């Protein structure tokens, strides 16, 4: 049985001559990191290689990094790899002089027995391009917060929303969760800001259409031999195909989310994942989106963007649960299915964070 709870590092870190708080959060069962040479390479197979030439592989939307030796699972340009490769599999953001870090749980290396340490994180953050990116995010965060019309008490709403969602998780209510979160958010915004949010839940069909425009595959981290699945939307169906073509599943897109049962261990695993989501820098992400939209002449407040990205993440969690359960032809979610569910879900959600412009 997996040890169900969170692993954390709370410390200080100096960047550009200034001291910042460093907070790392991960489930205890995914608190490590190791990348054994020639054993995996799953992250080098992607639907959106960054700053590298693309080479088509198997699927219309799936590419392999041109610097990756697929047969030997080796990077041919490791010493010159892009910053996005150096930072992987960690998501980083900045809020209120705090650097928030969490892992992408589709990476098999996170299941290593070697716990992530402050030293490892400091080494990554000390890379000049990464530290400059962090400092630039802090500047944007402070900029948006300095305009009351853009900020609209987003930080207060976020703090209260985290408490409400965490309380829901503690009571064992992990599925479905987005509808309750939306109602809680509406009450919070009316109380704090005096307006009703307009970011209601999109239709299930719209979520599926949007999802499979961006996700072409995902990694299931079973030890050092991960499974890589290629996904494709074909009409009203979703096709799942293993990279070696040995396994194929086709799932019809449901009109409603299926009723699911969760075993106790899977409930613990998924509760850990949802709590980790609450530690990610959604507020900073909201400030970035607000800044960019405002520069394009589109009025947007950080509160709205915060609710959009966070509640959207909860909805993707529900969609992932339903899809992966149907892929495995079961309505009962055990620990193995929970692991696959998280891998699929995090490959979707992390895309919002894992797109830094270096």
Residue with tokens 């894992």: 354
Dist CA 19 CA 14 (whole Å): 4
pLDDT given for residue 198 in this prediction: 53
Mean pLDDT for 77-100 is 87
pLDDT tier at 357, thresholds 50, 70, 90: very low
Q: Has residue 2 got a pLDDT over 90? A: no
Q: Has residue 62 got a pLDDT over 70? A: no
**Residues 241/310, Cβ–Cβ less than 8 Å:** no
Most confident among 1-10, 292-301, 330-339 (mean pLDDT) = 330-339
Tens of pLDDT along 162-190?
Answer: 998 998 898 888 888 887 788 777 777 77
pLDDT given for residue 358 in this prediction: 36
Tens of pLDDT along 274-311?
Answer: 999 999 999 999 999 999 888 887 878 898 889 888 98
Strand order across the beta sheet in which 18-27 lies: 6-15, 18-27, 98-103, 90-95
Q: Which residue has the higher pLDDT, 224 or 139?
A: 139
Mean pLDDT for 203-220 is 72
Q: What's the whole-number average pLDDT of the chain?
A: 83
pLDDT given for residue 193 in this prediction: 58
Q: Residue ranges of the domains in the chain?
A: 6-353
Dist CA 214 CA 119 (whole Å): 34
Please give the model's pTM, rounded to 2 decimal places. Answer: 0.89
Any idea what DSSP says for residue 203?
Answer: P
Percent of the chain residues past pLDDT 90, beyond the cut: 33
Tens of pLDDT along 24-57?
Answer: 999 999 999 988 877 788 888 765 555 455 566 6
pLDDT given for residue 129 in this prediction: 86
Q: Has residue 1 got a pLDDT over 50? A: no
């Amino acid at each position: 049985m997996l040890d169900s709870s969170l692993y954390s590092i709370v410390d200080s870190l100096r960047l550009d001559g200034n001291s910042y708080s460093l907070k790392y959060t991960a489930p205890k069962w995914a608190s490590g990191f190791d990348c054994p040479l020639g054993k995996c390479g799953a992250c080098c197979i992607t639907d959106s290689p960054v700053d590298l030439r693309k080479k088509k592989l198997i699927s219309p939307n799936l590419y392999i990094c041109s610097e990756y030796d697929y047969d030997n699972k080796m990077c041919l340009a490791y010493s010159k790899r892009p910053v996005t490769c150096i930072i992987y599999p960690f998501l980083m953001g900045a809020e209120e002089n705090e650097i928030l870090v969490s892992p992408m749980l589709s990476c098999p290396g996170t299941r290593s027995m070697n716990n992530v340490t402050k030293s490892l994180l400091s080494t990554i953050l000390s890379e000049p391009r990464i530290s400059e990116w962090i400092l630039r995010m802090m500047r944007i965060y402070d900029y948006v917060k300095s305009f009351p019309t853009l900020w609209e008490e987003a930080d207060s709403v976020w703090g209260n929303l985290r408490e409400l969602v965490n309380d829901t998780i503690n009571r064992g209510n992990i599925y479905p969760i987005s509808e309750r979160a939306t109602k809680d958010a509406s009450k919070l915004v009316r109380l704090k800001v005096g307006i009703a949010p307009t970011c209601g839940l999109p239709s299930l069909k719209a979520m599926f259409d949007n999802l499979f425009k961006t996700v072409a595959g995902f990694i299931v981290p079973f030890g050092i031999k991960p499974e890589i699945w290629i996904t494709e939307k074909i009409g009203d169906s979703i096709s799942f195909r293993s990279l070696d073509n040995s396994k194929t599943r086709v799932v019809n897109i449901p009109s409603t989310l299926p009723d699911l049962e969760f075993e106790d261990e899977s409930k613990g695993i998924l509760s850990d994942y949802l709590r980790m989501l609450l530690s990610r820098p959604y507020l900073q992400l909201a400030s970035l989106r607000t800044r960019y939209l405002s520069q394009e002449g589109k009025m947007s407040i950080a509160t709205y963007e915060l609710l959009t990205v966070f509640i959207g993440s909860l909805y993707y969690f529900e969609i992932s649960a339903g899809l992966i359960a149907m892929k495995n032809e079961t309505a009962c979610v055990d620990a193995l299915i929970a692991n696959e569910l998280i891998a699929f879900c995090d490959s979707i959600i992390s895309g919002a964070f894992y797109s830094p412009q270096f």
